[in-house]
Amino acid sequence: MSCTFFSITSFVMPTIIILIPGTQSILNTVTVLSTLLPLFILLRTLWLNIFTIIDLICHGYNHICLTINNHEIHDLIAIEWSRLKITRVLRIFWTIRALKQMAYLLTYKEIKNETLLGVVKYLLVNGCDTFTAVLGMTSFVSYFGRNVESFFRWLLSTEDVEQINIEYVSAALFYVLALQTGLTVIEPEERFIRLYRNFCLVCGIILIYIHILVDSLLMTLSITQNSSFNKHLKPLLVCGFLLVLSIKILIYLWSHHLVCNWLLAFSSLNIQIIIKVLVTLAVYSLNVINDHHTTFEDKLDDYVFYIKSFGCVVNFCFGVCIFLNGVYNTAFISGSLAHAPMVCLDAYLIVWCGIRDGWRIFIRRRIAMLKIESLADATYIQLSEINDNCPICFQRMVSAKITNCNHCYHGTCLRKWLYLQLTFNFYWYSCCMLSIAY
């Protein structure tokens, strides 16, 4: 109570003194002296609570270290972002701002009779004219991404699968694009066009993440031989939805827009989605056919590898096209270095990581396949002595491969194990598998 009284007194002291006649000469001195009392109170409060402050800092530091050690830095950011409810605050801010602009529309006579499309356009254009407003709009993009992910998880019954964080990716992409395209400094009409283009790119990324969700589910269903028709139907319908939607978007874009760099980039993104879906359906079909007919059981993993490699190569080529488009925009169109960080990120993620990961998979597969082919075939006498089932498929071994540790497996089972390892990073650490893979 006393601290509050002294603070108020020091705050109003210059005003009181200036009302007294003949005190103008000491006003500057009084102003400086009046700041000393709050400073003293602040230092006294800090000193009395120094141990509490140190404990709080240490607790926060330990929490940060523990989270980073158990997870990653982006997980820490996501946890703190959710704990502080920053997105909710930004959404409330942007909503209040939009309501204020709506009230202005209803009272301003010249634009009071705007159509619904005009009102939406006005709110969107004026809803991203400052960096804080862009953050508010980004929170709505994040909210939209989270609800899209929740809907498809509910539709596919994959609530227990690890989240793919569409909301954070979509929000980060939208904000980066907003900064790169300079939404806050361009004219309203141009701002609306760029905002529309940014939304399209964000929606394309959301579709790619939906494909990641449905791809993992379909691969699991096809390999585990799940016979539930409903389990297979839903992800197949989602794949059909992604395929039809991407084709429709391409048709609409090329029939209603002039050729430009953005059109080429967004078209490449949609073509990537189409190729990814087709590759997923092809691999799924091979697994299902093989489970029912065992037509090409010996060569299944080879066919799967060829199909996925073809899809990866084509997607890599389109990714390089998107990267080159960004380089062209930075060098010849925008004339600004604002695009440079994103171009460098694309160069790392698309070009370097794509080449590195593809080469690693190829070399690792080649070495492992050569080792499997080099294994000796079990003779009839050896199989008779073993008189056992394959430890992988639990079926009788008519023919088998002998590993370096003198264990027998079906050659096709070893190849399937290799396919699982390359596809899902599933490692079975036994003497047999270690001797084959490494």
**Phi-psi category of residue 182: left, alpha or beta, with phi > 0 → left and psi -120 to 50 → alpha:** left
Residue burial 397-433, b: 16+ Cβ < 10 Å; e: rest: beebbbbeeebbbbbbbbbbbbbbbbbeeeeeeeebb
Beta-bridge partner residues of 435: none
Classified as helix, coil or strand, 7 is helix
Q: What does the pLDDT read at residue 429?
A: 44
Mean pLDDT of 221-230: 72
Q: Which residues contact 144 (CB under 8 A, 6 or more apart)?
A: 170
Of 31-35, 219-223, 280-284, the one with minimum mean pLDDT is 31-35
Check: CB of residue 413 under 8 Å from CB of residue 390: yes
CA-based torsion, 35, 36, 38, 39: positive or negative: positive
Q: Residues 281-310: what's their mean pLDDT?
A: 75
Quickly list H helices, 108-228.
Answer: 116-126, 131-156, 166-181, 188-224
pLDDT band at 431 (very low <50, low <70, confident <90, very high): low
The predicted model scores a pTM of: 0.70
Q: What is the chain's percent helix, strand, coil content, to nearest 5?
A: 80, 0, 20
pLDDT at 39 > cutoff 80: no
Mean pLDDT of the chain: 76
Three-state SS at 376:
strand
pLDDT of residue 434: 47
pLDDT at 278: 92
Q: Please give the pLDDT value at position 287.
A: 80
Rounded to 5 degrees, φ, ψ at 100 are -65, -45
* Per-residue pLDDT, 377: 79
CB distance 195 to 183 below 8 Å = yes
Which helix H or strand E contains 408, and what residues bound it? strand 408-409
> What is the token pair recorded at 116?
């619904």
Q: Tell me how far apart the alpha carbons of residues 316 and 262 are, in angstroms, rounded to a whole number.
A: 18
69-102 pLDDT tens trace: 776 666 666 677 677 777 888 888 888 888 888 8
229-274 pLDDT tens trace: 778 888 899 999 999 999 999 999 899 888 887 888 888 889 889 9
Structural contact between residues 195 and 187, judged by C-beta atoms closer than 8 angstroms: no
Neighbours of 345 (CB within 10 A): 13
